[in-house]
Each structure stands twice: as C-alpha cells, then as structure tokens.
Structure 1
Amino acid sequence: MARRKLNKEDIFIATDGLLHELGYEGFHFKALADQLGVGRSTIYEYYRSKEDLITAYMLHIMEAFIEDRDKLDQTARPLEQLRGLLHLFMKHDRILLAIELTPHVQKSSSDHVQQILNHLWKHHHIVFAQIKELVVAGIKCGEIRSDLPVKLIEAALFQAISLNKARNQETTEEWANAVFDMLFSGIRT
C-alpha cells in the first residue's frame, strides 16, 4: 500500500469504529490499517503496540471530557452543576468505553501504558469525587433528597451515560435534559 501521512484524530476515529465493531479482543493493527487505507507499518510509525494506541485513544477521550468539564460554571447551584456534568457525559459518551476497556489492556506491556492507565484512573476518581461533592452539597441545600444513599445517586448519574445508546433523533442537549429530569423528578405525572 502507498505510504501516506495520518493524523491522530483520523486514527482515533477509525479506532473508535473498530472497537465498537470488533471489541478489544478483535481489534488489531491490520484491521485498522485496512480501515485507514495504509500499510500496518504506517500505524507502527505512530504507535508501538495495540496497548499504546488504545491507551492513547482512551486518554484522548478523557482529556476532551476534562477540558469541557473545566469550562463548567463552578459557582452554579449543585443541581445545575450536576446537569452540566450529565450533559458532558452524554456529549462524551465514549468515556464509558474508555473505562470499560481498562481491564482488558495489558498493563505490563510498557511503563508508558501503565502511566497512562494510572492517569486515566486518577481522572475517573476525580470525576466521581466531584459528583459526590455536588450530591452532598445538593442534599445540604435541599435540592436533592436526603433519604437516598449518596452512592446510589452518584452511580445513577454516571451510569446514565449508557442511556445514550437508546437516543434516537434527540439532540445531545434534549436527551441529557430528559435523562436529568427523569433522574431528579421521576417518571410519575
């Protein structure tokens, strides 16, 4: 195949599609090279191994989420901050895939892979801590029910990302608002 330059965004888009189609175990550089219309050696110019590529892809997803999260209004009321986080979870729904991939990645493949995985888990824990802080603040100010366990509310918010798979024609904003309203107002009329 002819050699051509790739950019990392193209590689990540193709990686995302193949992970969705083939899963972690079925993903390999030959399929990626075929998808991108290049030889396998071209992929190796960018990444030394499957684990290097997958962790770079996972980090790319997390960094995009963190960048948007850092733009949220930290002075808003707790419930509005939680709404903002839920919108970001819907916008960056691949973050759930990144977290689900973590146990599959061979951590022993390189120190670099291990460092990225540690970095990803650090950010994952920071996001969960932020959700917990906002839930606790929401309970204290009377915006959130105090009779429900904080862990339940925290997990429900984060797991709501998986509801994005059921979205049809709704925009991310419409869907996130509907999920948020269902979580915090219930389904009764």
Structure 2
Amino acid sequence: MARKQSYSHSELLDLTKRLVLERGYDGFNLKLLSEHLPGARSTIYQYYANKDEIIAACMKRSIGAILEKASALDETDSMRALQELLDIYLEEFQLHQLLADAYKIKTTASEAARRDIEYVESAHEFLKVQLTRLFQKAQQEKHLREDIPLPVHVGMFFNLINTPNMMNVPVPEWSRMLFQIWMGGAKQ
C-alpha cells in the first residue's frame, strides 16, 4: 500500500527553500527532499516534474511575497517608505542567498521553470527601480547626503539587510535599529 500524502504544497516549498539554503542548488535533489517529507517521493511529482521546477517555484514564491508587500507601499514619504521596505526585506533576508543560483536553473527543459524565472527577473527589476526611485526622492528632499553617490546609499542599504541579527531581535525592532544607525550613525 502506498504512503498517503501528508504535506501541503506550501510545506513542500518551505522545505525546498530550507534545503536549498542549506545545501545550495548543487546539493539539492528530489531524493533529499523526499527523505525529509512524510509520504512517497512520487507525491512531489504531482506538483513538479523536476528539481529545476521546484527550485524556480520556491524562488518565485519568495520574491513574490516581497513584491506584493513592496508594491503596496505608500511612497509619499520617501524615508518612511525606505524604513518599511527595510522591514519587508528583513523578513525575507535570505532572498539573495536563495536567488544566487537562479542562473543554474535549466529553463530550456521546463516551461514552468522558465515562466517562474522570468517572474523572478521581472520582480527583481521592479524592486530595483522602486528602491532607486525612493533613494532619488530622498536625496532630492535633502533627507540623504547628495555628496554620496546613489549606488553607495543603495549598497549600504543592502548591507543592512545582510547584517547578522545575533541577538535574535524581532524583525520590526531590528529594522528600526538598523535604520537609525544607517541614518544617524553609531554615535549620539
């Protein structure tokens, strides 16, 4: 008798994300995934045909969560929007690590993987344009130093996201602390 499926599509993508972050694209395979799931490996194939499809879907879901929240931001107040964007990015702080191997996905072998990677690329472009627009607006409004080139501001912003939260501070509080240090420096 076959084992009954006992996991959801969401749980499948959660586990895929965890394993890809732990092992990377090259260390991940469907056998490894099935070893961590209750039920038969064949159940995975009800959702995805191969490794590339499931990893691409996982990437799409992660960046999609960010895109949905970032798209809804009120950009009227550039600094508030940047603070809220930092909150959003910190919630999915492992996104860049997850997307690092997107170029390895074989999109020619799978239409589903191709569509998901196209979505990831377009979402990434939207987020890049949004961030640049907010930084330009903040500079024009004199909230950010104009003598520092925009790419430096953006680079520092992304370094905030990569700052290890060694104290396991809740994300909203962690985001506020990082934003304050970025805006005001470390000294009072």
Q: TM-score, normalised by structure 2?
A: 0.91
Residues 77-136 of structure 1, C-alpha deviations (whole Å, 9 max, x = no match) = 111111110010001223223321312222332233222212211111111111111111
Matches for 1:37-56 after TM superposition, within 5 Å: 37-56=38-57
- Contact 2:20/2:98 (8 A) holds in 1: no
SS of alignment partner, residue 124 of structure 1: helix
- Counterpart amino acid of 2:20? L
How many residue pairs match? The answer is: 187
- Structure 2 counterparts to residues 171-186 of structure 1, below 5 A: 171-186=170-185
Structure-2 residue corresponding to 1:93: 93
For residue 187 of structure 2, what is the amino acid of its counterpart? R
Alignment correspondent of 1:33: 34
- Provide the rounded CA distance (Å) in 2 between the counterparts of 1:20 and 1:120: 17
Report the alpha carbon displacement of residue 166 of structure 1 after superposing the two structures with TM. Answer: 3.2
**Runs of 5+ unmatched residues, structure 2:** none
Task: Provide the alpha-carbon RMSD of the alignment.
Answer: 1.7
Structure 1 gap segments, 5+ residues each: none
Judged with a 3 Å threshold, the aligned counterparts in structure 2 of structure 1 residues 169 and 17 are, in CA distance, closer, same or farther, namely same
Contact 2:6 2:39 in 1 (8 A): no
Give the aligned partner of residue 69 of structure 2: 68
Label 1:66 to 1:14 Cα distance change in 2 as closer, same or farther (>3 A). Answer: same
- Looking at structure 2, the residues matched to 9 and 45 of structure 1 have their Cα atoms a distance apart, in angstroms, of 14
Aligned-residue sequence identity (percent) comes to: 22
Residue 167 of structure 2: aligned partner: 168
Give distance in 1, aligned partners of 2:47 and 2:112. Answer: 14
1:128 and 1:154 in contact (8 A); partners too:
no
Distance 1:78 1:53 in 2: 36
State whether residues 107 and 113 of structure 2, in contact with CA within 8 Å, keep that contact through their aligned partners in structure 1: yes
Matched with 1:147 is 147
Q: Secondary structure at 1:109's aligned position in 2?
A: coil
Q: Which amino acid aligns with 1:58?
A: M
CA contact (8 A) 2:75 2:134 kept: no
| Contact 1:135/1:154 (<8 A) preserved | yes
The structure with the greater share of residues assigned to helix is 1
The normalised TM-score by structure 1 is 0.91
Query: 1 CA distance for matches of 2:4 and 2:62?
Result: 27
Aligned-partner SS, 1:83? helix
